[in-house]
């Protein structure tokens, strides 16, 4: 089978051995996979002298069910999430804990974004916001846009910020207050909260050390929260943290279970009554939100590329001013 990898700062298609099904896993023939620009472009940059598989969010058709699988059958269309099991490859071998059935009338291309959706949902769960509270989403790449849409669907008061006017305008079409000017965003925030500040700020931007860490503490209320979602170092001044008794939180991937070998490699799910929202259940929740038309992800699906032409798609994603937030890779195998 063919697979997409990063090597020596470039993207290549390689021929690899097709995976064989094993207990509690699904062998999936890929229909579509979604490029995650932030993560994958970073991996390309550190690929000198090695090969790194790219991708972590896809949708496909079940070709074979491993021993012990009872909730899926051959022919099911499923969304799946999580490297190293999910990537840009013609066939995927994925534990059932990282899969969810795609609703019957849902466009498979939308389901390819399920991994990004799960990460967005988990970030909002980490913030522990209640409906009616105010959240500022900073950085409107693919993940920031997804978080803002889901927060809006959850009846939160969403205020979004990005230096790109094009990305700001994309969210404004959903009726979400979005700004390319910090001053304008701050004015809206103070008006909306009667000068109290946001209940939480979600930092979805990149850039390692960033002045946003300092600024975000000014935007939250007393005992408010700052959640780091993007690739930012947690550099927060103690005096501002102390003054507001601020909470600094980090959101890791798509939810409980991520990087747990028992949950992923052995496909051992957590008890529903004790861990309500695992990464797999967050994938299913994203599918529900799209299926019920609570969120509109069509603006993310404007760029579809054939698998064989996928290496060229990464060039557009390097252009930060582009409205292209991701590319959907189509498989014609």
Q: What are phi and psi of 76, to 5 degrees?
A: -65, 140
**% of the chain with per-residue pLDDT over 90:** 86
Q: What tokens were used for 261?
A: 């070998």
- Distance separating alpha carbons of residues 326 and 15, to the nearest angstrom: 24
Q: Is the pLDDT of residue 266 over 60?
A: yes
Tens digits of per-residue pLDDT, 243-260? 999 999 999 999 999 999
User: Are 249 and 127 in contact, with CB atoms under 8 Å apart?
Assistant: yes
Higher pLDDT, residue 318 or 144: 144
Domain ranges of the chain: 2-113+256-330, 117-250
Cβ count near 52 (within 10 Å): 14
Q: Is the pLDDT of residue 225 over 90?
A: yes
SS3 assignment, position 76: coil
Q: Is the pLDDT of residue 111 over 60?
A: yes
Question: Residue 112 has what pLDDT?
Answer: 98
pLDDT band at 220 (very low <50, low <70, confident <90, very high): very high
- Distance separating alpha carbons of residues 155 and 201, to the nearest angstrom: 16
CATH code of the domain occupying 117-250: 3.40.50.720
What mean pLDDT value characterizes the chain? 94
The alpha-carbon radius of gyration of the chain (Å, integer) is 20
**Would the pTM of this model clear 0.85, i.e. be above it?**
yes
Mean pLDDT across 259-277: 95
Q: What tokens were used for 31?
A: 């229909």
SS3 assignment, position 108: helix
User: Are 93 and 53 in contact, with CB atoms under 8 Å apart?
Assistant: no
Q: What tokens were used for 37?
A: 């620009």
User: Are 159 and 179 in contact, with CB atoms under 8 Å apart?
Assistant: yes
CATH code of the domain occupying 2-113+256-330: 3.90.180.10
Nearest residue to 59 (alpha-carbon basis) of 3, 104, 105, 112: 112
Question: Residue 322 has what pLDDT?
Answer: 55
User: Are 123 and 146 in contact, with CB atoms under 8 Å apart?
Assistant: no
Q: Is the pLDDT of residue 137 over 90?
A: yes
Question: Residue 197 has what pLDDT?
Answer: 97
Read off the DSSP letter of residue 298: G
Q: What tokens were used for 5?
A: 């990898």
Tens digits of per-residue pLDDT, 59-108? 999 999 999 999 999 999 999 999 999 999 999 999 999 999 999 999 99
User: Are 64 and 21 in contact, with CB atoms under 8 Å apart?
Assistant: yes
Question: Residue 318 has what pLDDT?
Answer: 63
């Amino acid at each position: 089978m063919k697979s997409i990898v990063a090597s020596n700062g470039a993207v290549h298609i390689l021929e690899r051995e097709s995976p064989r099904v094993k207990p509690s896993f699904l062998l999936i023939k890929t229909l579509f996979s979604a490029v995650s620009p932030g993560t994958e472009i970073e991996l390309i940059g550190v690929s000198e002298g090695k090969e790194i598989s790219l991708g972590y969010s896809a949708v496909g058709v079940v070709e074979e069910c491993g021993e012990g699988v009872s909730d899926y059958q051959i022919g099911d269309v499923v969304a799946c999430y999580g490297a190293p099991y999910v990537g840009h490859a013609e066939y995927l071998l994925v534990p059932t804990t990282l899969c969810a059935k795609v609703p019957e009338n849902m466009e498979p291309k939308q389901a390819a974004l399920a991994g990004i959706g799960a990460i967005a949902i988990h970030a909002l769960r980490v913030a522990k916001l209640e409906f009616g509270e105010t959240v500022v989403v900073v950085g409107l790449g693919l993940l920031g846009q997804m978080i803002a849409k889901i927060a809006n669907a959850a009846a939160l008061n969403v205020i979004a910020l990005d230096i790109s006017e094009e990305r700001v305008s994309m969210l404004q079409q959903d009726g979400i207050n979005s700004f390319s000017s910090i001053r304008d965003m701050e004015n809206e925030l103070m008006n909306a909260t009667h000068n109290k500040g946001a209940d939480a700020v979600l930092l979805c931007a990149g850039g390692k050390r960033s002045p946003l860490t300092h600024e975000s503490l000014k935007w939250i209320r007393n005992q408010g929260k700052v959640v780091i979602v993007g690739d930012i170092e947690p550099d927060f001044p103690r005096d501002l943290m102390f003054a507001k008794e601020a909470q600094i939180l980090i959101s890791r991937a798509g939810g409980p279970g991520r990087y747990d070998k028992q949950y992923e490699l052995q496909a051992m799910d957590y008890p529903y009554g004790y861990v309500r929202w695992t990464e797999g259940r967050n994938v299913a929740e994203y599918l529900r939100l799209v299926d019920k038309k609570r969120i509109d992800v069509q603006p993310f699906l404007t760029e579809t590329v054939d698998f064989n032409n996928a290496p060229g798609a990464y060039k557009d994603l390097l252009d930060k001013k582009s409205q292209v937030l991701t590319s959907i890779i189509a498989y014609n195998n």
